Structure 1
């Protein structure tokens, strides 16, 4: 597990990402999420609910469906999933969480229209080796005016990639954040105490 996490943090390209998660998909839930007591997806889902988020919502970088499952637990639906890894989405599809699933790249353009969703969530995607603040405009593009996006951003990644400046440059958006643990009390290893910032972006109505 530790080797896989370090490999994920060290990714350089979308092709590297696809290769890693192709091999990790089938063991991700047991060998990572359960072993590390991965509580971040529920933090994101709860923040979305507490911010007034409703369906339809898109789960960006959905992986094996951990955040989607948390949304469903909180009574939020319908939920759409997208991820760069087809293999991770195949695992998610087997859980019958999502109403629709498709592969997509946040660093390019997702195959959905402007304002398709009432909101968006993302857990564990805005982090080392993955997606940076340059994807925030695309996140906002797919949600409606008045809608919200709740995304987790690894706290160290936030500082390294200049999220404060990127958020300040967004127009027509109200931004707030809070810091939470990525892993629960049962976690262990070098990353057990890692933190994430839960960023909430609300699009203005006008």
Structure 2
């Protein structure tokens, strides 16, 4: 049964992969307008710009690509070879309609992306590493398919950076010398037209390279 009004609160309440697939199946066709445009969603552009400004290059994997908002901005900024991965086939269908992706990979990020080692020189993610979605344990799985010195630009909801274990994960990855050059600039997720309890939320953009 289709949800009448999928929204951000529903997304943050997700606790199973099956629930995520159902929510985004219901939301896919209206997501770009009823959420991204209406809530002045800045994060996809910010994440893409951080990647490009840090000298990111392709091939890039757009993690939790959704309908392709971050991938769209990558192409606007000159990045051409991009693959999309998401748990939702319905969101990926919408992303492919933008005609910006080389390939689309349906995958549960907590189980890894089924691609060979050394597949990608860059990784972006906007809005995926947050409550109800993907936790820090996915990051080592992404390193498996990253080339040496691959650049990551991952948005992480600032409210959950400590309590969901992201800070601890980054400390461990640096200690193990698996990543280097970590920086965590903070940005607004939404613009001035946003409404609701999350309108002032911020995200940390985790910028780092694989060692």
TM bin (shorter chain): over 0.9
The runs of 5 or more residues in structure 1 that have no matched partner are none
Is the CA contact (8 Å cut-off) linking 1:146 and 1:202 kept in structure 2?
A: yes
**CA distance in 1 between partners of 2:5 and 2:154 (Å):** 24
Q: How many residues align?
A: 204
1:179 aligns with: 186
Is the CA contact (8 Å cut-off) linking 1:55 and 1:119 kept in structure 2?
A: yes
1:5-42 deviation per Cα after TM superposition (whole angstroms, max 9, x unaligned): 00100100111110100100001000000000000001
Where 1:161 maps in the other structure, the secondary structure is coil
Q: 1:48 and 2:51 equivalent? A: yes
Deviation at 1:77, TM superposition (A): 1.6
1:23-75 deviation per Cα after TM superposition (whole angstroms, max 9, x unaligned): 00001000000000000001110110111110100001000000000100000
Q: TM-score, normalised by structure 1?
A: 0.96
Q: Which of 20, 35, 42 lines up with 2:23 in the alignment?
A: 20
Q: CA RMSD in A?
A: 1.3
Deviation at 1:105, TM superposition (A): 1.3
Q: TM-score, normalised by structure 2?
A: 0.94
Q: 1:89 and 2:92 equivalent? A: yes
Q: 1:145 and 2:152 equivalent? A: no
**CA distance in 2 between partners of 1:162 and 1:94 (Å):** 35
1:1-206 map, 5 Å: 4-170=7-173, 171=176, 172-174=178-180, 175-204=182-211
Is the CA contact (8 Å cut-off) linking 1:63 and 1:85 kept in structure 2?
A: yes
The runs of 5 or more residues in structure 2 that have no matched partner are none
